Structure formats: structure tokens, C-alpha cells
Structure 1
Amino acid sequence: MRFTALAALAVSLPLTACVSVTENDYSAPAVARAPMGDFGEATLVNATGARIGRAVLTQGSTGLLIRIEATGLTPGWHGVHIHATGECAAPFTSAGAHVNHGDPKAPHGLLNAAGPDDGDLPNIHAGADGAINAEVFTTRARIAREGPGQWLWDADGSALVIHANADDHRTQPIGGAGDRVACGVMAAG
């Protein structure tokens, strides 16, 4: 009886929910595709221009889910932010400042009483092997035409930037997160 129930459940699952991702295989879908306009991605590169991973963006009804898969980073915590310009020329200052279109503009920091700005995200952790597999969620950014948060597909696009150090989520302008070590231009999928 138990086997029959499990078999019936497996048959009822959509094929896209059963995905196998091998090590460093960034071409396999990380999440099931959402309806057109609700999905995006970014190829992450390091300062030498080498491809080190990707970010997959999925729009939900209350915010944006970002799955980040990357290798080759220094083990430990890293700040990650959404930047206002879709350019990733090393040292990634071409990505500009954080998306922060509120009026008045909020200061940086998830733990800042007057913040956060629209580009702030939780820190991500690279394991001893330098790999990151993380999901972060924000209500302050969106890829759908309508909904909560800042629209990321504006005329100059947006980028996801990973920093060398952890973000303390309080100090200005970037919480002590340090150099920009990886960047990916976000694009509609």
C-alpha cells in the first residue's frame, strides 16, 4: 500500500521538479521554471572573467527568490547585494551602487533601524571547498512587471555582486563587505 501511494505521488509530479545537477553543471535548471517574465538568471564571473557559477531568479507573489550556486570563493561568509547597473567589468564597480529607488533612499543594512536599502540581501556562506549553494529571498526587488519591490529589468539592468567579506548589515555604505569578488548581469530567462 505504501509503495502504491509513493508511486502515484511520483507520477503526479511535474517532470521539471525532478532535476539532477552534477558538480559545476550550471546549465541544468536549478528550480522549476516559472511562467514567462517570472524567471531570470545571471552567470557569475570572477575578477579574471572566469565563469564560477550562476544565480537563478524566480518571482513569487510576495517577493523574489534567488538561488546562488558558485565555486572558487574564499571559505566563509560573503556579502551579496543587488546592484543598480547590469555591467560586470572587473573590479565590478561598473555595476554601480545598490538598487535603492525608495523616496527617501534608505541607508544600507538589514539590521539598520532606518534601512534596509533595496539591494540588501542576507550573507551567503562558502564551504571549505569554496562552494556556495544558497537561496535568499527579498521583498524589495522583483522581475515581474508588477508587484512588490524595485523592478530589476529597467533600461540599464541590474547585477548580483558577491563581496569578499561578510556584511555586518549596519555600517555604511556596504557593511564592511569589502571588495567585489564576483558579479553576474541579471537577465530575463
Structure 2
Amino acid sequence: MRPARLAALAILPLAASLAACVSVTANDDSWTPQRAAVGDVGEAALVNPAGQTVGRAVVTQGPTGVLIRIEADGLTPGWHGTHIHATGQCAAPFTSAGGHINHGEPKAPHGLLNPGGPDDGDLPNVFADAQGRVRAEVFTPHARIAREGPGQWLWDADGSALVIHAAMDDHVSQPIGGAGDRVVCGVIAAG
């Protein structure tokens, strides 16, 4: 093989790995790369409908989405649907948090297992043990706390909230997978 061909082959893996860390956004009809602020952190104090703090969620920015660590107490043992909601308000019964983040058009249907979904606020279920404790980490590529990058920006003008529901999300049925009432809510804010 010629030396020029070897050099080109050596550059391809490097270019592919750099592309995974860069997103592209439109800016005045020209395309410019924007790097996500990997490692940025946000937090949400989780409250129940009585306004008592029952835990916290830590949101960490990654290169392709956010990792959310959830620690909560006082839930009914079993599986619980979790979603990111579009408004950073948690007035009981937490309907003030609005619907799921899903600012794209057209709106995707709910459900991680829905052939037409998921919508941007869908997250995996979390499990509360026999004492009602949740200790979980979930990841979504559909959200971000960095100002630029892929996914819905969680710190927009009206903020966002993490909501835990009373029951398990089946990840298919509309509008929220049968997850039931909103029993825990936390406004996602800068850490």
C-alpha cells in the first residue's frame, strides 16, 4: 500500500471519533460545529404532593445526551414511569409541569417501544424496592443541559421537570403508557 493511502486510513478512525463529540447547528444559514459541554451538571430536588423533599436527581451532560441519577424515598414498591416534562414547575398535583418535552415537529407519539416514538420526554421505568427507595441511573439522547448540542434544552425560558408516576409505563399506550398520577416532581436547575 502507498504511504498516502496509509495516512488516509489512519485519519478515518480519528475523524469518526471526533464527529461523535460534535453536533452541527444552523447559524445564519451557515453550518458550524458546536461542542456540548460534557460534564455540566444540574440538579432537581424531588418533592411529593405534600411538598416534602423525598430525594434528588442529578443530571450530567454527556457528548450525546444526559445521564440522570435518581435517588428517591417514599414511593410505592414496584416499577414507576419517569418522564421529563416541559415546564419547570412542581405545584401539586404536578400538572403545572405540563406535558413531556417534545418541541420538535411533528410530535412523536409516547413510548420507548412505540414504533412511531419515542417522544423526547420518555425515559425508562425506575424500580422502588420494598422500602419504597429508588436508586437508578437513566440516559436519554433526547435532552441536554448544555446550551448547544443534540436534544431538547432543559434550561430554556420555562425550564423543565423530572416527574415520577404512580405506576409502570408500558412504553406503548397513549398518552403516558398507563403510568397514572404524578407522585414525585423536581425542577431541573443548574447545579
Global fold match (TM > 0.5): yes
In the other structure, the counterpart of 1:109 is 111
Q: Is the 8 A contact 1:37 1:143 kept in 2?
A: no
Amino acid in structure 2 at the alignment position of 1:45 = V
Q: Residues 8-28 of structure 1: CA distance to partner in whole angstroms, max 9, x if unpaired? A: xxxxxxxxxxxxxxxxxxxxx
1:136 to 2:116 alignment: no
Whole-Å Cα distance in 1 between the matches of residues 39 and 94 of structure 2?
A: 26
Q: Post-superposition shift, 1:36?
A: 9.0
Q: Residues 105-163 of structure 1: CA distance to partner in whole angstroms, max 9, x if unpaired? A: 10100000000000000000000010000000000000001111000100000000000
In the other structure, the counterpart of 1:99 is 101
Equivalent of 1:123, from 122, 125, 134?
A: 125
TM-score by length of 1: 0.80
* Stretches of structure 2 lacking an aligned partner (at least 5 in a row): 1-36
Equivalent of 2:150, from 148, 151, 160?
A: 148
* Stretches of structure 1 lacking an aligned partner (at least 5 in a row): 1-34
In the other structure, the counterpart of 2:88 is 86
- Aligned length, in residue pairs: 155
Q: Post-superposition shift, 1:41?
A: 0.3
Q: Equivalent pairs: percent with the same residue?
A: 77
1:174 to 2:166 alignment: no
In the other structure, the counterpart of 2:68 is 66
Q: Secondary structure at the match of 2:96?
A: helix
Amino acid in structure 1 at the alignment position of 2:170 = D
Amino acid in structure 1 at the alignment position of 2:128 = A
When Rg is computed on C-alpha atoms for both structures, the one with the higher figure is 2
Q: Secondary structure at the match of 1:56?
A: strand
Q: Post-superposition shift, 1:74?
A: 0.2
Q: Residues 53-86 of structure 1: CA distance to partner in whole angstroms, max 9, x if unpaired? A: 0000000001100000000000000000000000
Whole-Å Cα distance in 2 between the matches of residues 62 and 84 of structure 1?
A: 20
